[in-house]
Amino acid sequence: MEAEKIKQNFKVGTLEEGKKSSILDLKGVSISNFTMNRGKGKMEIGKGPVRTGLTMLYPVSENVWEHSPVCSTFVANGYGKTTGLAQIKELGVLETPIFLTNTMSVGDVWAGAAEYMLEQNPQLAEKGQTVNPVVGECNDGYLNDIYGRHIRPEHVLEASKNLSQDNTEGGNVGAGTGMVSFGYKGGLGHSSRIVEYNEQKFIVGCLVLANYGERKHLRINGVPVGHRLPQTKKEKNDGSIMIILGTDIPLDNRQLDRICRRAPLGLALTGSVLGHGSGDFVLSFSTTNIQSRKGNLIYSSKNVREKGDFLNRVFQAVVEAVAAAVYDALLRAETMVGRDNRRVEALPAGKITEILQGG
């Protein structure tokens, strides 16, 4: 009961949540987390302690190379090492799963993703085609032996065997294992919002990898709670976040670009100012607007008209879903001790609830 009361205090906006309150409310989307959490004490590069992982999001129920979702991206602040975004911006489709990991493991995950795509699509080699793996990252080096590069290509193949449409794990799992937000333990967060229009219901789902924020800036639904919490010794405004948005609205890539550009408004609700050294990347895709490589089919559905009152509800859903996913990551993450005995506490949700209630 107490947990439910706390959760209600972190509820964002007015739109209804999806059944799973996750990007997995979208039909066909699946997720797998590969987590590495071992060792303790002083860090020795290559040996640990290890607090890191890999998250794989598969955006469609069919082969993503053959049935590629229309997609777009937006870079709010570009201090990051992602791969694959330039081609998405140019061509407007997503041809691989989306992979999330730590900064120094991007290359190894890319290699594993390429191997996975070739395994699934041997015709790539037969036709001399290349593939464009999409890999996003945040820096977990405060808690993790990041230069040890413990995530290897084979871990991508291992993760691919555990994809699930019900895996709504959050906090200290997968790519979120070693992440820190607002000086508290961060990580993976889920959310979704329902958009109703003319007796139709659509989903906007969100997955975040939250690793950003200065504690004194933390806001819960617009209330500046951070300055009333104990401050960390090393305050910083830098950090990163990866934001993945999915929807079953058949938007084209230009319209998806528009919803990407609303995501930073959700971050602002939480207290982000998109710091100088922050990597803030957004990727959005439609599960019902698919570009097929088979036959003469170009798009599987009709595009959405520029109808302002409908799109405004979609924009609202994006803003609410992004903020809610960040809060979800913070609420589900648990206290962690990492390299060199560094300790990052879980969010004191009870204390924040007390502040919100006028305490």
- Please list the active-site residues: 240, 278, 280
Q: Tell me the C-alpha distance between 343 and 134, whole Å.
A: 32
60-82 core/surface letters (b: 16 or more CB in 10 A; e: else): beeebbbbbbbbbbbebbebbbb
DSSP states of 147-175: GG----HHHHHHHHTT-BTT----BSSGG
| CA nearest to 204, candidates 284, 289, 92 | 284
- Torsion, Cα 60 62 65 68, to 10 degrees, reads -40
DSSP states of 170-221: -BSSGGGTT-EETTEE-EEEEEEEEEEETTEEEEEEEEEEEE---GGG-EET
Contact 103, 144 (CB under 8 A): no
Phi-psi region of 194 (alpha: psi -120 to 50; beta: other; left: phi over 0): beta
